[in-house]
Amino acid sequence: MEYILGIFELSAINLVAVLGLSILTGFTGLFSFGHAGFMAIGAYLSAILTKNFHLPFVVGILAAGLAAGLVSLLLGRLTLKLKGDYFCIATMGFGEAVRLVFSNWTYVNGARGMASIPKYDDLSLAIPFVTALVAVVVSWNLVNSRQGRNMVAVREEELAAQMAGIDVLRSKMTALVVSAILAGIAGALMANFIGFIAPKTFNMTKSTELTIIVIFGGLGSISGSVVGAFILTALPEVFRAFSDWRLVFYGLAVIVIMVGRPQGLLGGMELTPSGFRKSMAARRARAEFARLKAEGGGAA
């Protein structure tokens, strides 16, 4: 039972980080392979505050979000003018740089990592779930706000969005900062749930994992990120019986989904009554267009 609970705890923690990345990648169209860096900042800050300064978990979480958000503001100023792939490479560099800073910082034990960080117990085990719930609500409201629609416009056609008068740079910055705050908070949750963190927990594999979950769940879908986070966190555990082979199965499962459904599980749609109606309407529109085209002269 405790084992199952643990998987759900980890899923909820991953979900917080994934939601952030979903806003950045799924809704704004910016790929990042450095979000583990923001998680690391949050995790270490919360670990230091709760272990060395004996502050409550909540303080650690808030400080983690704040610090990651501030760092992302700086990163954004430097890198958001870069186009597509270049931004992605820059975030990769950022993630690795953060990891190396913690690896060489003796105050946090360098590469050996920090142990015996105060852990959630009994009642406080609810913290990751509550945080995840809040994160879902916040993300949902954000992507359905004017800000969120601006982000989608930037993703779809940056120049056209600019022509319409949308402040493209600001939209990107908002997405980056929100995603970094959520990643930082996820890092804090992780530190206080596991009780041990090391720099290598936050390597590029972690960043990649987050991106995989977002794409697997479906770009441009909050519900997709939720479903993706739970499935892909649980999947390696399901395959645990195969020991060394389990990550191979994990990889294969991801490949199968991506080949079968390139848009991800729930790409561009939401698991709500209105979201469902919308996606059905879009499907009908596509079918209608295909029919017109088959009859000839549809698009001409």
Residues in CB range of 89: below 8 A, 6 or more apart = none
**What's the token pair of residue 145?**
């706000």
- Which C-beta is closer to other proteins: that of 86 or that of 157? 157
Which residue lies nearer to other proteins by CB, 112 or 167? 167
**Residue choice 74, 157, 248, 283 for contact with other proteins (CB under 8 A):** 157
Q: How far is the CB of 85 from other proteins (least distance, A)?
A: 18
Distance CA 7, CA 253 (A): 19
- 299 contacts other proteins (rule: CB under 8 A): yes
Q: Minimum CB separation from other proteins for residue 299, in Å?
A: 5
Least distance CB 209 / other proteins (angstroms) = 29
Helix (H) or strand (E) holding 21: helix 2-21
Nearer Cβ to other proteins (113/267): 267
Q: Which stretch binds other proteins (CB under 8 A): 65-73, 153-161, 175-183, 251-259?
A: 153-161
Q: Which two tokens stand for residue 30?
A: 């910016």
Question: Which positions from 160 to 189 touch other proteins by CB under 8 A, shown as an x/- string?
Answer: x-xxxxxxx---------------------
Q: What does the block give as tokens for 200?
A: 């290598």
Q: How far is the C-alpha of 120 from the C-alpha of 250, rounded, in Å? A: 29
- Examine residue 287 and tell whether it contacts other proteins (CB under 8 A): no
Calpha distance 293→300 (Å, rounded): 9
Euclidean distance between CA atoms 229 and 17, whole angstroms: 9
Nearer to other proteins, 49 or 153 (CB): 153
Q: Which helix (H) or strand (E) holds 256?
A: helix 246-260
Among 104, 242, 289, 291, binds other proteins (CB under 8 A): 289
Query: How many residues bind other proteins, per CB under 8 A?
Result: 17
Q: Is 285 in the site for other proteins (CB under 8 A)?
A: yes
Helices (H) and strands (E) in the chain, counts: 12, 0
The least CB distance from residue 289 to other proteins, in Å, is 6
Q: What 3-state DSSP class applies to 272?
A: coil
Nearer to other proteins, 151 or 166 (CB): 166
Phi-psi region of 276 (alpha: psi -120 to 50; beta: other; left: phi over 0): alpha
Determine, following the binding rule CB under 8 A, whether residue 255 of this chain makes contact with other proteins: no
Q: 179 and 32 in contact (C-beta within 8 Å)?
A: yes
Nearer to other proteins, 160 or 252 (CB): 160
Residues that bind other proteins (CB under 8 A): 153, 156-157, 159-160, 162-168, 285, 289, 298-300
